[in-house]
């Protein structure tokens, strides 16, 4: 029998609506009310200014090492605005704009990067998962949530995020395969910033795009200009609506650039071409979105200045509140790290807790009082 071609039903497109000059393709431009456009910019600007302040705090020794989110605002915010409160938000760690939009207190973000796990607790009543630092581990959770939605017969959608480095992990492939096989309502958003720490995308894969991997899984895939908030809005809106109709998952590859080091412990000058970095600097998301808003007369310079002043005041307030919180239980008590892991604490862990208390000079009476205060603070 002769060889015969196999027809593959899926195709991969590239979507860009708003270029770096602020010019828009009117045929593709989404219909978004001026008020919502301005609010989208406000959340993106807040995320950018928070990220910049976090870097200063880290350099001052007031928080620990953290991964910056500068340049990723369009991906996070452009996608998250399509979710309902009942939908699931399953992040990695560069989705700062999305965290803030979903109602995470800025104080919680600060407390987390100060080294306190309490800051990773999602706000009460939100269908959000905590920050996921282990690479791609959250994608399995997202696939499971989507499968559970189907079993329960609800119409909630799951949107999850990962990087190009995460796309090389086995967890990523397993999650997307299961989501596709079981038609789970999951939107996989890959923040392709072109480097897995120091490993460039060309050394991670031979294929031209991450999006084309969707063909192998039997799901829809699309590559999007990740610095274009309008394109991210459109691509995610289509994927969310499709998932809500019960038509399965989608892989969105959001092409961007990591404008900062991988974390504040990294030195990208050792492995990146700075000329390329300068080229990408002209494509960053906030500048083009601001040009677009001003051209449409949605936002004026005066309104932008007011936003900046309000954001600076909010950040200053949050820093004061977060640093004050670390001075009081439960954050001020290192012994709480032993609590809430087990219903009945194992003997070996109890012994370690007692040894630490002794080393810190904490008496049993003091420990008991701290436990009561900690429990009350947590609502236990």
Model pLDDT for residues 333-355, shown as the tens digit of each residue: 989 888 877 889 999 999 999 99
Structural domain span for residue 336: 329-378
Q: Domain holding 276: CATH number? A: 3.40.50.970
Please indicate, yes or no, whether residues 143 and 254 belong to a single structural domain of this protein.
Answer: yes
Whether the per-residue pLDDT at 20 is higher than 90: the answer is yes
pLDDT at residue 366, as a whole number: 61
- Would you say the pTM of this structure is higher than 0.95? no
Please indicate, yes or no, whether residues 147 and 103 belong to a single structural domain of this protein.
Answer: yes
Which backbone phi and psi does 188 adopt, to 5 degrees?
Answer: -90, 115
Whether the per-residue pLDDT at 380 is higher than 90: the answer is no
pLDDT at residue 375, as a whole number: 55
pLDDT at residue 340, as a whole number: 77
pLDDT at residue 6, as a whole number: 82
Please indicate, yes or no, whether residues 138 and 181 belong to a single structural domain of this protein.
Answer: yes
Domain count, the chain: 2
User: Which of 370, 363, 365, 378 has its CA nearest to residue 334?
Assistant: 370
Residues annotated as catalytic (active site), given as ranges: 258, 262, 271
Pair of tokens at residue 273: 């071409």
Report the b/e string of 121-150 with b at 16+ CB within 10 A. ebeeeebbbebbeebbbbbbbbbbbbbebe
Please indicate, yes or no, whether residues 112 and 230 belong to a single structural domain of this protein.
Answer: yes
The helix or strand, by DSSP H or E, that contains position 88, with its residue range, turns out to be strand 88-90
pLDDT at residue 337, as a whole number: 86
Last residue of a domain, one of 285, 302, 324: 324
Please indicate, yes or no, whether residues 65 and 205 belong to a single structural domain of this protein.
Answer: yes
Please indicate, yes or no, whether residues 192 and 269 belong to a single structural domain of this protein.
Answer: yes
Helix residue spans in 182-295 (DSSP H): 213-217, 229-244, 274-281, 285-295
Please indicate, yes or no, whether residues 77 and 125 belong to a single structural domain of this protein.
Answer: yes
Please indicate, yes or no, whether residues 289 and 363 belong to a single structural domain of this protein.
Answer: no
pLDDT at residue 7, as a whole number: 81
| Residue 3 belongs to some domain of the structure | no
Q: Is 221 helix (H, G, I), strand (E, B) or coil?
A: strand
Mean of the per-residue pLDDT values of the chain: 94
Please indicate, yes or no, whether residues 334 and 259 belong to a single structural domain of this protein.
Answer: no
pLDDT at residue 4, as a whole number: 87
Whether the per-residue pLDDT at 371 is higher than 70: the answer is no
pLDDT at residue 8, as a whole number: 77
């Amino acid at each position: 029998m002769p060889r015969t071609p196999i027809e593959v039903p899926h195709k991969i497109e590239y979507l860009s609506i708003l270029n770096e000059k602020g010019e828009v393709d009117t045929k593709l431009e989404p219909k978004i009310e001026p008020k919502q456009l301005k609010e989208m910019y406000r959340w993106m600007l807040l995320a950018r200014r928070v990220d910049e302040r976090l870097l200063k705090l880290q350099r001052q020794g007031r928080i620990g090492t953290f991964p910056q989110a500068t340049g990723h605002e369009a991906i996070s915010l452009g996608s998250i605005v399509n979710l309902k409160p009942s939908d699931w938000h399953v992040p990695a760690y560069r989705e700062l704009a999305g965290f803030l939009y979903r109602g995470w207190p800025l104080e919680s973000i600060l407390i987390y990067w100060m080294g306190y796990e309490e800051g990773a607790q999602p706000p009460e009543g939100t269908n959000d998962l905590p920050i996921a630092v282990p690479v791609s581990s959250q994608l399995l959770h997202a696939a499971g949530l989507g499968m559970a939605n189907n079993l329960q017969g609800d119409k909630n959608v799951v949107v999850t995020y990962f990087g190009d480095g995460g796309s090389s992990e086995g967890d990523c492939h397993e999650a997307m395969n299961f989501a596709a096989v079981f038609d789970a309502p999951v939107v996989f958003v890959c923040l392709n910033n072109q480097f897995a720490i120091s490993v460039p995308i060309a050394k991670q894969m031979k294929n031209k795009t991450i999006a084309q991997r969707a063909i192998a899984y039997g799901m829809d895939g699309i590559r999007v200009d990740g610095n274009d908030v309008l394109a991210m809005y459109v691509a995610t809106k289509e994927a969310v609506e499709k998932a809500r109709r019960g038509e399965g998952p989608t892989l969105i590859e959001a092409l961007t650039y990591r404008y900062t080091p991988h974390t504040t412990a990294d030195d990208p000058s050792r492995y990146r071409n700075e000329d390329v970095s300068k080229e990408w600097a002209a494509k960053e998301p906030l500048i083009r979105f601001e040009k677009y808003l001003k051209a449409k007369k949605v936002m004026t310079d005066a309104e932008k200045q007011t936003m900046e002043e309000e954001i600076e005041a909010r950040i200053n307030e949050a820093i004061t509140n977060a640093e004050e919180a670390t001075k009081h239980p439960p954050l001020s008590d290192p012994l709480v790290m032993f609590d809430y892991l087990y219903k009945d604490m194992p003997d070996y862990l109890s012994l370690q807790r007692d040894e630490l208390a002794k080393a810190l000079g904490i008496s049993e009476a003091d420990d008991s009082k701290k436990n009561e205060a900690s429990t009350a603070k947590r609502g236990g």
